[in-house]
Amino acid sequence: MESPIGQKEQKEMKEIFSEIVDPTLLVLRVHLYTEHLMERIIIASLPRGDRLIEKGRFTYSQKISLISSLDTIEDSFISGLINLNKIRNSCSHERQKKITSADIDFLGRSFSKEYIQIKKETKNEYLCLCSTLGWLCGGLIHSANKAESLENLK
């Protein structure tokens, strides 16, 4: 049986991916969700990580650097976050920005063989984007849960 936390996270993911049909909006929402997951990792990994999150005013990029330095997440997911942030920035700063297949490939290249498999299995670009973002979020959820479990053992 799945834990209540796992059930809650599955519900959140389902809501993010099922309610949004616009790829640009999906990228923006997933960006917010991954920031939330990074904050959970920081809070669980540092003795007073809550203080950093509440008062630190860290940017998304700085949070990526911080969780990278904690060595709690695989490098491919760090690269995925960096690439997601670049795509999100272009969505926020370019008027009429549309997510392209090049954007999806840019995001997916962080995951090499997993992304190749995603591309083989998906029928269109939007599903490829959803699957790639799902892979990224899944890795972060796993890392957040692991960090929180270790924190609870202390």
Give me the pLDDT at residue 55, please.
86
Give the model's pLDDT for residue 123: 83
The domain of 71 spans 4-147
- Report d(CA 122, CA 130) in Å as an integer: 10
Tell me which residue has tokens 């995603």.
118
Q: How many domains does the chain have?
A: 1
The C-alpha atoms of residue 111 and residue 116 are separated, in whole angstroms, by: 8
Rounded to whole angstroms, how far apart are CA atoms 104 and 132? 8
Q: Is residue 31 part of a domain?
A: yes
Assess if residue 152 is contained within a domain: no
pTM of the model: 0.90
Q: What digits encode the pLDDT tens for the residues 41-95?
A: 999 999 999 998 998 889 999 999 999 999 999 999 999 999 999 999 999 888 8
Q: Is the pLDDT of residue 130 over 70?
A: yes
Sign of CA dihedral 56, 31, 110, 145: positive
Give pairs for 90-95: CB < 8 Å, separation 24+: 91/24, 91/27, 91/28, 92/28
Q: What is the pLDDT of residue 154?
A: 58
69, part of any domain: yes
Indicate whether 132 belongs to any domain. Answer: yes
Most confident by average pLDDT, 13-27, 46-60, 73-87, 118-132: 73-87
Inside any domain, residue 122: yes
